[in-house]
A and B are shown apart, each in its own frame.
Chain A
């Protein structure tokens, strides 16, 4: 580990995880513990100093104007992740008639959205692989981890199944196996094992119309800007995911407002910062409270009460006072 006091979080350390949390923790421990207790905003302001080199990680640019709703990405995802076979085949377009969410068995789904003018737009959904994931900051044992390549992975050997990640995720992406006695959290993990081998995520490789472009996130944002500039009438001037929830690895371009394609309006709030202030009060409480309480006790009662005893020793104690 390099110098922990540096308020810069890199995503390219050897150990992998950017480990935002612990550094935030140390930073607040060192700097703003007591202040954070008094003003919830203070820690937030301090947290803003932390910057990750987020644009270095990998991402996918989803161009919904190109998507033809063929569900090749779904089939590829099912195949490379060895998920159970679906009830209806991936060639069966009738599934698009109803809205589907991702599930423990389907880590990505394509939905069709009907526009007011009669147009139909299809859009793929999967874990957004947030730059600073809420799920990972919530996890009691960091079973969910941000990897340097951008993926947010889950470790079966650690997870307690508390489902706080599901509460925390603004996109509701972690899914839980409710029907199993030994359940798992299941979600898209950005094909991190394939990425380690230098391969693309299964879905991006399978897309026949290049609606999914895999690459460095910074390059993808540049590319997205170019596409918008090159066709200002065809695109809404917004890259969904560039700032949403603090920024996501998956980026969406659209010809209609993104919320009409089921992408929720979201502030650029970085989620781990939301609880950083509260976590920052811990050292302050641990340091100040015992001293204050013990001081109060001894100041007001003298040390005899430390030996105070309730039951049949009462009588003897009264004598000693």
Chain B
């Protein structure tokens, strides 16, 4: 019994850390608010109105969440399709981050949908096949499954089911290809959603190229998230790595940064092309224009320069900072399009309630807890035996402890 408790919750004595206490408190409040939303409807917790039907649960939880979870398909493609094998140690944590990202995107969506129990109907009665949202829904559902299938080898290794693990290896390439196809479709379609709102989205953000912008920036988002996530998890979970770490994270980080820099420059020039086709330079002088400039210069051009600089001078610290900065920039972009510059003509403009923010933070926190829980048990960061703890169920059971 004690062993089971350890397996599930780790060492109870190590449980009450400041991080656990604070994040645990947030989650308790968040769960209460989720209960309130389910019992009393969206109006009880959100600031949504008849003219602003989408708030941060869509703008942050879904729009930003999907973009930032792009590390899974990006890294899987890098390693399994394009054959850059040296990045392999980063693939599994990236896929786990992506998978959990999508899990919480779907949870966020369930809270935002008025009638979430109807979700399966879109597959039973596929009536809205030409709706962009239908495409997003189907692709997210399919990709969630693909990511689960991409991650389960970690379970097979944990259970030491070698036959199954070996069979699964043959699926890797095909799952990676499927992941890229599905991601191309739904990452871009999240941008297409706003093509239907030409009068509501501020013209500087509205563009027929929105799907292209969303897809290209998702690659940058994915790469930047992997830079941030790998740096954090290799510091926080250093004990989960084998004594002789067999790869140089700094080198890989610089490689990812190089790719991110190239794609981000492409994105910057695509945005410039979109802007010059629009030809409304005068709008840059309006308050929303200033916001657009902050995004374009501060969160696209600046990280372009910083990534390039960081790669050229092999400054890993600068690259990691830029990774975090770019992640914030992508969130800023998605929020601008779906919330801030959306309904720009409507006053007073929507702003999220503290309850909406708390629920969003709760979902992110739950994702972090789940990530930690899995990393501490399964062979995620490394396949070899780590410094402390074990990578298999058998060893874990024998040792009688499961890590925090």
| B115 x A161 contact (CB < 8 A) | yes
Mask: chain A, 137-160; 1 = CB below 8 Å from B; 0 = not: 111111000000000000000111
Residues of B within 8 A of A278 (CB): 132, 188-189, 192, 195, 211
Residues of B within 8 A of A101 (CB): 50-51
Give the distance in Å from the alpha carbon of A138 to the alpha carbon of B169 in the complex.
40
Residues of A within 8 A of B172 (CB): 306, 308-309
B353 within 8 A of A: no
| A307 x B118 contact (CB < 8 A) | no
| A309 x B166 contact (CB < 8 A) | yes
Q: Would you give the shortest CB distance from B349 to chain A, in whole angstroms?
A: 15
| B50 x A166 contact (CB < 8 A) | yes
Mask: chain A, 280-302; 1 = CB below 8 Å from B; 0 = not: 01100110011001101100110
B280 within 8 A of A: no
Q: Which residue of the partner chain B has the closest CB to A181? A: B41
| A311 x B153 contact (CB < 8 A) | yes
Within 8 Å by CB of A160, from B41, B49, B113, B157, lies: B113
Q: Tell me the residues in window 131-180 of chain B with beta carbons closer than 8 Å to chain A beta carbons.
A: 131-135, 137, 153, 157, 162, 165-166, 169-170, 172-174, 177-178, 180
Q: Spot the interface stretch: A67-75, A118-126, A253-261, A268-276.
A: A268-276
Within 8 Å by CB of A306, from B41, B131, B170, B188, lies: B170
Residues of A within 8 A of B181 (CB): 285-286, 289-290, 293
Residues of B within 8 A of A269 (CB): 198
Q: Spot the interface stretch: A21-29, A58-66, A204-212.
A: A21-29
| A310 x B153 contact (CB < 8 A) | yes
Residues of B within 8 A of A275 (CB): 131-132, 192, 195-196
Within 8 Å by CB of B196, from A167, A182, A305, lies: A167
B interface, over-half SS:
helix
Residues of A within 8 A of B83 (CB): 297, 300-301, 305
Q: Which residue of the partner chain B has the closest CB to A267? A: B198
A175 within 8 A of B: yes
| A282 x B81 contact (CB < 8 A) | no
Residues of A within 8 A of B44 (CB): 179
Q: Would you give the shortest CB distance from A304 to chain B, in whole angstroms?
A: 11
| B41 x A285 contact (CB < 8 A) | no
Contact residues on A (Cβ < 8 Å of other chain), bracket? 35 or more
Most A Cβ at <10 Å: residue of B41, B157, B170: B41
| B42 x A307 contact (CB < 8 A) | no
Q: Which residue of the partner chain B has the closest CB to A134? A: B196
Mask: chain B, 72-99; 1 = CB below 8 Å from A; 0 = not: 0000010011110000100110000000
Residues of B within 8 A of A282 (CB): 135, 185
Within 8 Å by CB of A141, from B49, B112, B122, B211, lies: B122
Q: Would you give the shortest CB distance from B118 to chain A, in whole angstroms?
A: 5
Q: Which residue of the partner chain A has the closest CB to B156? A: A311
A6 within 8 A of B: no
Give the distance in Å from the alpha carbon of A271 to the alpha carbon of B122 in the complex.
22
Residues of A within 8 A of B245 (CB): none
Q: Would you give the shortest CB distance from B365 to chain A, in whole angstroms?
A: 25
Q: Tell me the residues in window 89-105 of chain A with beta carbons closer than 8 Å to chain B beta carbons.
A: 101, 103
| B51 x A172 contact (CB < 8 A) | yes
Give the distance in Å from the alpha carbon of A163 to the alpha carbon of B57 in the complex.
13
Give the distance in Å from the alpha carbon of A168 to the alpha carbon of B195 in the complex.
9
| B122 x A277 contact (CB < 8 A) | no
B128 within 8 A of A: yes
Give the distance in Å from the alpha carbon of A22 to the alpha carbon of B379 in the complex.
46
| B40 x A179 contact (CB < 8 A) | yes
Q: Which residue of the partner chain A has the closest CB to B168? A: A309
| B118 x A138 contact (CB < 8 A) | no
A274-B195, A305-B173, A313-B169 known; A141 vs B38 contact (CB < 8 Å): no
| B197 x A167 contact (CB < 8 A) | yes
Give the distance in Å from the alpha carbon of A38 to the alpha carbon of B122 in the complex.
29
Q: Would you give the shortest CB distance from B53 to chain A, in whole angstroms?
A: 4
A266 within 8 A of B: yes
Q: Which residue of the partner chain A has the closest CB to B46? A: A178
| B133 x A22 contact (CB < 8 A) | no
A113 within 8 A of B: no
Residues of A within 8 A of B383 (CB): 310-312
A40 within 8 A of B: yes
Residues of B within 8 A of A41 (CB): 208
A127 within 8 A of B: no
B234 within 8 A of A: no
Within 8 Å by CB of B199, from A178, A266, A290, A296, lies: A266
Give the distance in Å from the alpha carbon of A313 to the alpha carbon of B160 in the complex.
12
| B114 x A161 contact (CB < 8 A) | yes
| B177 x A290 contact (CB < 8 A) | yes
Q: Would you give the shortest CB distance from A18 to chain B, in whole angstroms?
A: 12
Mask: chain B, 105-131; 1 = CB below 8 Å from A; 0 = not: 000000011111011011001011111
| B116 x A160 contact (CB < 8 A) | yes
B236 within 8 A of A: no
Within 8 Å by CB of B133, from A24, A162, A281, A307, lies: A162
- 11 examples of A-B residue contacts, CB within 8 angstroms: A140-B128, A142-B127, A142-B131, A158-B118, A160-B118, A176-B114, A264-B199, A272-B130, A278-B132, A297-B173, A313-B169
Interface residues of A (CB under 8 A from B): 21-22, 24-25, 40-41, 101, 103, 134, 137-142, 158-164, 166-168, 170, 172, 175-184, 264, 266, 269, 271-272, 274-279, 281-282, 285-286, 289-290, 293-294, 296-297, 300-301, 305-313
Q: Which 5 A-B pairs have the closest CB atoms?
A: A161-B114, A178-B43, A21-B130, A309-B169, A278-B192
Given A162-B112, A167-B193, A279-B131, 4 extra CB contacts under 8 A: A167-B197, A178-B49, A278-B192, A308-B80
